[in-house]
Structure 1
Amino acid sequence: MTDIIDGKAVAEGIRAELESSVGALKDAGVTPGLATVLMSDDPASETYVSMKQRDCEEVGIEGIHVEIDPDAPASELYDAIDELNDDPEVHGILVQMPVPEHVDSRRVLRAIDPTKDADGFHPENVGMLVAGHPRFKPCTPHGVQKLLASANVDTEGKDAVVVGRSNIVGKPMANLLVQKADGGNATVTVCHSRTADLAAKTREADIVVAAAGVPEMIDGEMLSDGVTVIDVGVNRVDADTEKGYELVGDVDFESAKEKASAITPVPGGVGPMTRAMLLYNTVKAAGIREGVEVELP
């Protein structure tokens, strides 16, 4: 039987443990605070931010939300980040991407205080991750690590293929899997749009992490028996449904589950974990900044 990894259940368990962590911080006089910054009128971005704020409320994190007119000068966003950097009640900062074209997204990432970088994308934190001493792990790859652990998938000595090379998922995922640490010690191959004969690479893998953003690009014929498949992709495709579309991953779930020993569904797999690990990073940041030791799940 294929193990369908329930990301929603794993995320709920992590959030429950984080409630205890937040309680310990509050006993020490510290209330963790997460600031979300939105400079967009994109409905999807607005939904993501509202979900993150609701998550904060559920575990006892103080949510602070800042909205900036997407037509405003870029300086308004940078000024808002500076104010949050200086605010002692803010321990984590997240700027919802994408930002408008007239805003330099790289400058946005650099502007955030690296000790408040809840996404883990500041160059300083990326460097610490690559060096093997991560301060904050990027939320989605960290969530994938947690899912693998929940399914009792030992990465040590395994062949792992990461399909996708984004700064948000692919590259940090590869770095985490190759680290000399728990959840690492794998032999990692990174594949992408220029990879010749992708199927030859994925068929050799014990673990496949699909994060290319291409609907159902990987099917069962591209996998070996007993593989673990983590599908990070969330793609909207036309469908004969009430909404006129459905969400699918980068993996053809039905054919892949015939080969896989464990697989994540879309939706309900990696997505809930990304949000849970944002809370994790915020709680960790509060403990570090306030000098309070706190146990984390």
Structure 2
Amino acid sequence: MRIPAYPVVIAAVLGAGLVLWQNSASSRGGVSAPAGVAAATLSPLQRTLKASGDWLGDVGRVLVRRADIASQNEALQLRVADLEGQNARLSRLRRENVELRKLLEMPKVAGGRSLAAEIISYDASDFARRVTLNIGSRAGVAPKDVVYCAQGLVGQVTQVAPLTCVVTLLIDREGRAGAMTARTFAKGVIRGTGERICKLSYLDFNADVREGDLVTTSGLLIGRGAIFPKGMVIGRVVKVEKDKTYSRHEADVEPAVPFDRLSAVWVRVNAEGEKGR
């Protein structure tokens, strides 16, 4: 089968015309129609690709910035936590300094020596109320030594080690002391309950005891405990109870000592005990 020659001739003529058109446009600094058509066709695609690249660049910068902000925020949180810790330590030291200043300014109990001590631990398990001090037998401390602070009677030493000692507080269930009211000298025994309030027991049934009465140590020995010097502040009567059936007369006493905020105390080293040490 013979192929007609005129299509080939037409294609050759058109090709030559396009080449001449392109060369003529280039020599005049212009753009030929084919190039313009191609540029017009590809221009939207180029714009789309450029916009996509710009968007991806913006997203990358945002992610990097967000990571920087998160890192800075974490660093700031750590700094805030550190400053809060420092502030808490400074507040604690300030309170301890106030207690120590009161301790140094308060009058010492007569008889024997009084040694300043700091509380290093607090035992409040069940009904036990005890603290450990940072002085012991090497400083001359012995069992039954009286412990007090600016507000009044704290308790007595019950256990001693070379460098530390344990103090049973007045509010402990084992806490005992001879007591009397400052107004009428009504005598009894102050007993700890393991709670904030103590009991003033064994009062004479006709003793004049009222709410608000100041209660101090009587100086009398109770059982085999310590002899607390007379006149040490214990607290104030907040409630009076009388039971005619059993001839019972006792009172609730709120201690003057802030046991939950104590940080420093005096230990009265027994004068007689010192001679044997």
TM range (shorter): under 0.3
Q: Please identify which structure carries the higher strand content.
A: 2
Larger Rg belongs to: 2
- Bigger relative CO (Cα 8 Å, ≥ 6 apart): 1
* TM-score, normalization by structure 2: 0.27
